[in-house]
């Protein structure tokens, strides 16, 4: 397996496909998944001539199941370790959900200052802040995230079946065409990772405030979000992020769910490609 070892001794697994001379696209996966969640996108962009890279976040997938460092600073540093190891330049960074927060934090802290980033794409992403606070009254109550932690601790396997079978892909909506293979693949990826990383990750994706990151990002950024996202409600995420970014394009998808990269890849992939080429 291809891995890079971080400064604190964590082995981060990554995939690196395509011509080394081609423009790179680096994908940042959502919670609690792995680089495999990007298979459809990676094959699509590989066929278009790009170099495609994706890594498993620490504690997720095939990366080290370490007990600490589950915070956005470490996530961004780990992504930077992969980028610097492969010496990726003029890179498009694409992040979904928690990975959208990771990509945002990486670009603001490492990629943009180092001059390595060309563009950013965030999809169903958690910025600027998910949890409800006095400064963020439209956020979700902390009890929502406490509930996720309780379900994970009680029966992680059951939780990782119920979430994709329900709100993640919108399979709980009337008339939805449910895909058991998609549900099973979500469960498979989730169970590859460590329970501690996933438990801590709930706090990371819900309580990290990305406001200052968004404000300093100047590279062209595509903000993509389904208006029926039941995991990361659009009103307190994409609609706010697109206003904080200096060079944002907001694209809202009517009735599409949180996991639209999988359920509607035929729509999402061409739109990302058009933004990259634009």
Quote the tokens at residue 170: 């919108």
To the query of whether residue 97 is one of the catalytic residues in this protein, the response is: yes
Write down the catalytic residue from 97, 206, 241, 242: 97
3 state SS for 185-251: HHHHHHHHCCHHHHHHHHHHHHHCCCHHHHHHCCCCEEEEEECCCCCCCHHHCHHHHHHHCCCEEEE
Which whole-number Å values give the CA distances from 202 to 141, 173, 191, 195, 198, in the listed order?
13, 24, 16, 11, 7
- 55, 96, 258, 264: which one is catalytic? 258
Q: What is the CA radius of gyration of the chain?
A: 17
For 278, the token pair is 């634009």
Q: How far is CA 240 from the centre of its chain?
A: 18
- 172-178: long-range contacts, CB 8 A cutoff, minimum separation 24: 172/230, 173/228, 173/257
* Total residues found in the chain within this entry: 278
CA distance 228 to 68: 34
Residue 255 corresponds to which tokens in the numbers above? 């009735």
Whether residue 34 lies in the annotated active site = no
229 is a catalytic site residue: yes
The catalytic position among 36, 37, 78, 229 is 229
CA distances 64 to 2, 5, 30, Å, are: 13, 10, 17
A 10 A CB-CB count for 195 gives 15
Residues catalogued as catalytic: 97, 229, 258
């Amino acid at each position: 397996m291809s891995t890079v070892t971080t400064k604190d001794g964590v082995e981060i697994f990554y995939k690196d496909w395509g011509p080394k001379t081609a423009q790179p696209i680096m994908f940042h996966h959502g919670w609690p998944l792995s680089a495999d969640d990007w298979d459809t996108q990676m094959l699509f962009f590989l066929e278009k001539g790009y170099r495609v890279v994706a890594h498993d976040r620490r504690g997720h997938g095939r990366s080290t199941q370490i007990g600490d460092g589950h915070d956005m600073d470490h996530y961004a540093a780990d992504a930077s370790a992969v980028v610097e190891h492969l010496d990726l330049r003029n890179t498009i960074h694409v992040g979904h959900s928690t990975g959208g927060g990771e990509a945002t934090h990486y670009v603001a802290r490492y990629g943009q200052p180092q001059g390595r980033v060309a563009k950013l794409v965030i999809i169903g992403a958690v910025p600027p802040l998910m949890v409800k606070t006095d400064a963020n009254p439209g956020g979700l109550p902390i009890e929502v995230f406490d509930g996720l932690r309780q379900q994970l601790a009680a029966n992680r396997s059951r939780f990782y079946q119920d979430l994709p079978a329900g709100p993640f892909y919108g399979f709980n909506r009337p008339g939805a065409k449910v895909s058991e293979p998609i549900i099973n693949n979500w469960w498979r990826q989730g169970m590859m990772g460590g329970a501690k990383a996933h438990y801590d990750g709930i706090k990371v994706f819900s309580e990290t405030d990305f406001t200052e990151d968004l404000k300093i990002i100047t590279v062209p950024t595509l903000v993509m979000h389904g208006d029926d996202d039941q995991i990361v409600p659009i009103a307190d995420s994409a609609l706010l992020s697109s206003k904080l970014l200096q060079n944002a394009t907001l694209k809202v998808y009517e009735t599409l769910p949180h996991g639209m990269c999988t359920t509607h890849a035929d729509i999402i992939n061409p739109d990302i490609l058009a933004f990259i080429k634009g």
